[in-house]
Amino acid sequence: MLNRPFVLVVNHLLAAESWARNSLLPHAGKSARLSVPPFDFDLKVLPDGLVEESTDAPETRIKASPLALARAAAGEIPEVELSGDIEFAKALNLLFNHLRWDFEEDLGKFTGDVVAHRIAQAASSFVSWQKEACRNLAENLVEYWTEERPILAGRLDILHYIDEVDRIRDDLERLEKRMERLENA
């Protein structure tokens, strides 16, 4: 159901980046399944470096969690599981980690460059504000749960716990050595 729109989006991004198409050329004819549960996307590389929907059994599989997808959208490099033709999987992974949509350029075709630039700036400011708000909320929740309603252990508490475990371990080792000496005597 979502395979066709996915292929259209990937081809739109590939058409704008010759380096991306060139990286797929050695893998022409190969097929892959990209899994982001609950969705699977099957594609096949064409001789020109673009892709099409595939009905072939995939030679390569790339599986990512929905959280990894969110991390990728935030600009981070997500962790994925690769299997099958590893060289092809690496090429696809490189594309998905570095291929970016130039929203401003595409929007400029419809609205003009100045309007597109202003919309892109506003969108970027909004996204930055959202990230900062989420980070502040997370920091406030951590502080609340460690200081006000302690259901999480604080950093110093954890370090103290580790020191105590180490001390008990050392004490136990000394006790075992003493018992060994007493048994031998």
Those residues with Cβ within 8 angstroms of residue 50's Cβ, 6 or more apart along the chain or in another chain: 11, 14, 15, 21, 24
Which pLDDT score is estimated for 31? 92
Q: What letter would DSSP give residue 149?
A: S
The answer, yes or no, to whether residue 19 has pLDDT greater than 80, is: yes
Predicted confidence (pLDDT) per residue in 79-138, tens digit = 778 888 888 888 888 887 777 777 777 778 888 888 888 888 898 898 889 889 988 998
Which pLDDT score is estimated for 112? 87
Tokens of 120: 């892109």
Query: Which strand ranges, in their side-by-side order, compose the sheet holding 60-63?
Result: 51-53, 39-45, 31-36, 60-63, 81-84
Burial 125-153 (b: 16+ CB within 10 A, else e): eeeeeeeeeeeeeeeeeeeeebeeeeeee
Which pLDDT score is estimated for 167? 95
Confidence of residue 157 (pLDDT cuts 50, 70, 90): confident
Predicted confidence (pLDDT) per residue in 58-83, tens digit = 888 888 887 776 776 666 777 778 88
- Domain residue limits, the chain: 3-98, 104-184
Mean pLDDT for 169-178 is 95
Fold that domain 3-98 belongs to in CATH: Nonspecific Lipid-transfer Protein; Chain A (3.30.1050)
